[in-house]
Amino acid sequence: MSEYLLEVKDLKMHFPIYSGILPKATGSVKAVDGVSFNIAKGEIFGLVGESGCGKSTTGRTILRLLKATGGFVSFEGKTLFDVASGQEMAHDQMRALRRDMQIIFQDPGTCLDPRMTIGNIVSEGLKEHRIARGKEALAQAKDLLELCGMNGECVRRYPHEFSGGQRQRIAIARALALHPKFLIGDEPIAALDVSIQAQVLTLMRNLKEKLGLTYLFISHDLGVVKYFCDRIAVMYLGTFIEQASSEELFAEPLHPYTRSLLSAIPKSHPKEIKERVTLKGEMPSPSNPPEGCKFHPRCPSAMPICKEMEPVYKELSGGHFVRCHLY
Amino acid sequence: MRDADSSCDECPTQSDPVQTENSTLKTVLNKIRNNALAIFGLCFLSALILAAVFAPWITFFDRDHIDMALISQPPSLTHWLGTDELGRDVYTRLIYGARVSLSVGLVSTCISVLIGVFLGAVGGYFGKAVDSIIMRTVDVFMCFPFYLIAVVMAAIIGPSILNLMFIAGILNWPKISRIVRAEVLSLKHREFIEASRALGLSSGKIILKHIIPNTMAPVIVYATLGIAQGILMEAGMSYLGLGVKQPIPSWGNMLAAAQDFSVLVAQWWLWIPPGAMVFLSVLSINFLGDGLRDALDPKIAE
Amino acid sequence: MNTSLIEVQDLVSSFRSPAGPTRVVDGISFTIPKGKVLGMVGESGCGKSITSLSIMRLLPQPNGFIESGRILFDGTDLLELSLERMENIRGNEIAMVFQEPMTALNPIFSVGEQIGEVLQTHRGMKGRDKKEKAVELLRLVGIPRPDRIAEEYPHQLSGGMRQRVMIAMALSCDPKLLIADEPTTALDVTIQIQILDLIRDFKDKLGTSILFITHDLGVIAEMADEVAVMYLGKIVELASVCDIFDHPSHPYTKGLMESRLVKKRKGDSLICIPGMVPSLTNKPKGCAFSPRCSDCMDICRRESPELKEISPAHFVRCWLSN
């Protein structure tokens, strides 16, 4: 029996690129290119990175909303899939396991079916998995909505009658309906106003304590991740380049990319003087990643070896991993 | 400042109506109310449907009653629209003709909507081979001129009201399936669809419960216009003798009387009423369809 | 001597609706001196974007209209100008950079052509001169290989590049005032810093005044000289940037400052502003913030406070400070 709730080994998600008339792929977008990590029960694991780094794809692939092209994922010791050996969890088993693993999305505008009432949206999972039906399902939906800070009477209304923050609460209620053990938040507060972000984040933290949840929190916002997460992994162009506990990552960032990310956070006071580590250029496209270390074209500390060989992801001190030739 | 832990669960949950992107039924009705043409269309069609349903109560003669003494009489107080070449009351036959036209329109539209929505949704959602096969079938169907095929099919399977419904139904589904497929292509990547998959719903359930209801707006508009198509098609085919056969009256076969030049010139009451009914019905449906389309388009302001 | 470039006095902008006009900007006044940056901060529905569109007289038609007020730009009231004269000013003396460059740029023209359009309209440049100047502008905003990028279309460029193109367009005619409406909200944090540095550089070189609209207090700390905090169509606090950060006086400003995660450690409880921004059609009676204010008094529910100066150049709209 594994000590970890979620184990991910060498996860890969390559999207083929087709050009020309022939059905053969001419290249691929390596959105996720070898990601490995474990999440313990009750932990909040943060996945941080800029747009195009593959963090959202990672979340979706773990949940099998996308079919991975490589790697291994297990949940509570049960293998979800192992591409190398062709092993895949049976359809029925996977469906049952979906109750334990749920996801909250970023855009409150499109995460709820505009044609369904709130009651039906939240109780859909209950009905699907035969946990409850009809009035009983609606009653449970009401309870869940109230748990998430909404008025139970809203079950009769439609999504467009609610604001972004409220819709996100409804989405959380929907995810909780099946009493999951594990929740992936894919930028759940990015699209919300600052004061509403604080409300939703507090709700998520309270729910974690009340219900004993484990989170994978995906975000591009370092401030949020620093506050909310226990451990954080930094992603760049499809791979993890650093991973550490939240305190250690911010106190002692090792990788040059992490350092520049942290230095790019805007000042917290007009008089503050910040040392900025500016990077050249922009993140290259994942369909054409650089040779060797993927970060070397932009790295202020690049060495000759960085162009030739990709560094190994190794553990330095207790739990602090880095992928860099400097170490 | 109140501490978040205690206050946020008690946050005032007034759900202030946010500027909505989707129309609710109320907004739709409001938009229609403001559209005079659509109102006209709706009124005329409602009157027509009521007349067709209550035909026995609003007509005074037997539909097929032949009176050889009163052949081709012009309109009078007893026969409001005169009599035809067999002495039958034109007004009565006109009202009963509405039943034929409306039912051909409605049933053929139902058939084409059922086929079109199903195939469009399945093709759009699953993509790849399934989509290719369906879309190539659509392409083939749309290559052929509608009336040519209709005439050939009617010649083969024989003229009757049921056959007309069938022909119109299977010739019109490609248009609807294309519209549905286009909607589905943009819908299937929306997050609420992904959320349903994460909940464990099968593809079939997702298509039925989530995808199809969200494609209904353009389908309703095209279905409405499809009814007009059905009416026109019935009129055309019956005029050519390939549709509804005597003694059942239909606007098309009543119009066929005008093939005789003397009728065309001297007995206007035999062909102008059915022609006018076809014209007004199609016009009304088009007005209503346009009004519905504007009403269901969330971007057009009230 | 008047060093203010633009002075807005009691601007009221509204939207017509079947239920009557709704005030989105409800009487705001501010000044921006030459070469300075005014940061306008607030959440959705506060009216900051509509303020910028009002200055440009580009309110969404047919329902948007300016009810009353004056906008003095270099001495002239913009609201009194003819449309033709206003068109001369837009893009030329007052330029605007938007949040979402993908929708602000025309997808069927290359970026070089779009910059060229501005140059042609306002400077009468044509042909090769126009092309060369466009490439030059792209180089100034830090775009690598500008001659090649000038031929590309917006969808071929990344978000950061598109925003640089927008800035190139905005600054092509050396405007006196730049209105930046959330220009970095959609960008990654490392690109955001590059764009903010770029804007700051231009400000220093050209002496452009900037109206910088954002919801991010960190960006305000980076860019602004003065700050106006908006809530439901009114300015609730107006002060220098240091004063806003050191001595926030309005409860809403205090709430925004406290909600910032950057100051929190793990485990600290998040102090948040309860409730939501009410809809503009349903404004509370008295002070607009009263339903969400923990220090709300009786008078707050009855009467709306005026903007009062509580210390030099520090204005607050709150009964607590009166």
- Minimal CA separation from B45 to chain C, in Å: 30
Q: How many domains does chain B have?
A: 1
Helix (H, G, I), strand (E, B) or coil at B142: helix
Which helix H or strand E contains C209, and what residues bound it? strand C209-214
Non-local CB neighbours of B26 within 8 Å, separated by 6+ positions: none
- Is residue A40 within 8 Å of A5, Cβ to Cβ? yes
| Residue B76 covered by a domain | no
* CB-CB under 8 Å, B11 with C273: no
| Residue B151 covered by a domain | yes
Lowest mean pLDDT across A224-233, C50-59, C278-287: C278-287
| Residue B41 covered by a domain | no
CA C123 from centre of chain: 26
* CB-CB under 8 Å, A198 with B9: no
* CB-CB under 8 Å, C270 with A193: no
Task: State yes or no: pLDDT of A1 exceeds 80.
Answer: no
Q: Which residues of C touch B29 (CB under 8 A)?
A: none
CA distances from A252 to A103, A318, B114 (A): 31, 13, 63
Non-local CB neighbours of B112 within 8 Å, separated by 6+ positions: B168, B169, B170, B171, B172, B173, B175, B176, B226
Non-local CB neighbours of B97 within 8 Å, separated by 6+ positions: B249, B250, B251, B254, B274, B277
Cα(C65)–Cα(B10) distance, rounded to whole angstroms? 38
Which helix H or strand E contains C227, and what residues bound it? strand C226-231
Q: Which residues of B touch A120 (CB under 8 A)?
A: none
B29-40 as b/e: b if 16+ CB within 10 A: eebbeebeebeb
Chain A: residue whose CA lies nearest to C144? A281
pLDDT of residue B78: 82
Q: Which residues of B touch A109 (CB under 8 A)?
A: 21
Radius of gyration of the CA atoms of chain B, in A: 25
- AA letter at A285: S
Among C114, C152, C154, residue whose Cα is nearest residue C134: C114
Which residue reads 């081979």 in tokens? B129
| Residue B230 covered by a domain | yes
Cα(A154)–Cα(C168) distance, rounded to whole angstroms? 48
The structural architecture, per CATH, of the domain C4-93+173-316 is: 3-Layer(aba) Sandwich (3.40)
pLDDT of residue A104: 94
Q: Which residues of B touch C254 (CB under 8 A)?
A: 1
CA distances from B82 to B52, B55, B59, B78, B100 (A): 20, 18, 13, 8, 21
Give the bridge partners for A244, in sequence order.
Answer: A232
Task: State yes or no: pLDDT of B278 exceeds 70.
Answer: yes
Question: Which of A18, A62, A65, A115 should be substituted to probe chain B, the one whose Cβ sees the most B Cβ atoms within 10 Å?
Answer: A115
What end-to-end distance do the CA atoms of chain B give, in Å? Answer: 42
Over residues C86-113, the pLDDT tens digits come to: 998 888 899 999 888 778 889 899 999 9
Which helix H or strand E contains C52, and what residues bound it? helix C48-55
Q: Which residues of C touch A261 (CB under 8 A)?
A: 189-190
Non-local CB neighbours of A253 within 8 Å, separated by 6+ positions: A242, A259, A261, A262
- Minimal CA separation from C271 to chain B, in Å: 5
Over residues B227-254, the pLDDT tens digits come to: 998 898 888 888 888 888 878 888 988 8
- AA letter at B95: I
ipTM of the complex: 0.84
> Considering chain A, what percentage of its residues have pLDDT values greater than 70?
99
Average pLDDT over residues C32-40: 94
pLDDT of residue A288: 87
Structural domain harbouring B149: 50-56+82-296
How is chain C split into domains, by residue range?
A: 4-93+173-316, 102-172
Q: Does B16 touch chain A (CB under 8 A)?
A: yes
Cα(B254)–Cα(B248) distance, rounded to whole angstroms? 10
Over residues C129-183, the pLDDT tens digits come to: 999 999 999 998 888 889 999 999 998 888 888 999 999 999 888 899 999 999 9
Q: Does B1 touch chain C (CB under 8 A)?
A: yes
pLDDT of residue B299: 55
* CB-CB under 8 Å, B18 with C18: no
Nearest to C278 among B1, B8, B16 (CB): B16
Q: Does C279 touch chain B (CB under 8 A)?
A: yes
* CB-CB under 8 Å, C245 with A269: yes
| Residue B278 covered by a domain | yes
Among C172, C256, C264, C163, residue whose Cα is nearest residue C215: C256
Over residues A141-171, the pLDDT tens digits come to: 999 999 888 888 889 898 988 888 899 999 9
CA distances from C268 to A77, A268, C275 (A): 34, 18, 21
pLDDT of residue C261: 75
CATH number of residue B282's parent domain: 1.10.3720.10
Residues 84-143 of C with CB under 8 A from B: none
Chain A: residue whose CA lies nearest to B212? A115
- Minimal CA separation from B273 to chain C, in Å: 43
pLDDT of residue C1: 47
Model confidence, pTM: 0.83
Task: State yes or no: pLDDT of A197 exceeds 90.
Answer: no
- Minimal CA separation from A109 to chain C, in Å: 15
Q: Which residues of A touch C265 (CB under 8 A)?
A: 227
Which helix H or strand E contains B203, and what residues bound it? helix B203-206
Q: Which residues of B touch A125 (CB under 8 A)?
A: 199-200
* CB-CB under 8 Å, A222 with C245: no
| Residue B117 covered by a domain | yes
Over residues B123-180, the pLDDT tens digits come to: 999 988 899 999 999 999 888 888 888 888 888 888 788 888 888 888 889 989 999 9
Nearest to B198 among A102, A113, A160 (CB): A102
Average pLDDT over residues C210-225: 93
Average pLDDT over residues A216-233: 92
Q: For chain A, list residues whose CB is within 8 angstroms of any CB belonging to chain C.
A: 50-51, 163, 165-166, 193-199, 201-202, 220, 222-224, 226-228, 230, 246-247, 260-261, 264-272, 276, 278-279, 281-282
Residues 215-254 of A with CB under 8 A from B: none
Task: State yes or no: pLDDT of B17 exceeds 80.
Answer: no
pLDDT of residue C13: 93
* CB-CB under 8 Å, C190 with A50: yes
Question: Which of B8, B16, B31 should be substituted to probe chain C, the one whose Cβ sees the most C Cβ atoms within 10 Å?
Answer: B16
What does pLDDT average to over chain C?
89
Nearest to A111 among B13, B15, B192 (CB): B192
Per-residue tokens: A65:
């909303």
- AA letter at B87: G
Task: State yes or no: pLDDT of B54 exceeds 50.
Answer: yes
- Minimal CA separation from A202 to chain C, in Å: 7
| Residue B201 covered by a domain | yes
pLDDT of residue B24: 60
Cα(C272)–Cα(A260) distance, rounded to whole angstroms? 30
Q: If you write DSSP's letter for every residue of A122-161 in order, what string do you get?
A: HHHHHHHTTS--HHHHHHHHHHHHHHTT--GGGGGS-GGG
pLDDT of residue B298: 60
- The residue count for chain C: 322
Q: Which residues of A touch C144 (CB under 8 A)?
A: 281
Q: Does B198 touch chain A (CB under 8 A)?
A: yes
| Residue B138 covered by a domain | yes
- Is residue C160 within 8 Å of C195, Cβ to Cβ? yes
Q: For residue C278, give the DSSP letter.
A: P
- C44 compared with C86, residue with greater pLDDT: C86
Q: Which chains have 3 or more CB–CB distances shorter than 8 Å to chain A? A: B, C
pLDDT of residue B3: 30
- Is residue C249 within 8 Å of C310, Cβ to Cβ? yes
Chain C: residue whose CA lies nearest to A227? C266
Q: Which residues of C touch B302 (CB under 8 A)?
A: 18
Over residues B38-52, the pLDDT tens digits come to: 889 989 999 999 999
Nearest to A128 among B15, B200, B213 (CB): B200
Q: What is the pairing mode between strands A321-323 and A239-245?
A: antiparallel
Nearest to B16 among C270, C279, C294 (CB): C279
pLDDT of residue C280: 80
- Minimal CA separation from C263 to chain B, in Å: 16
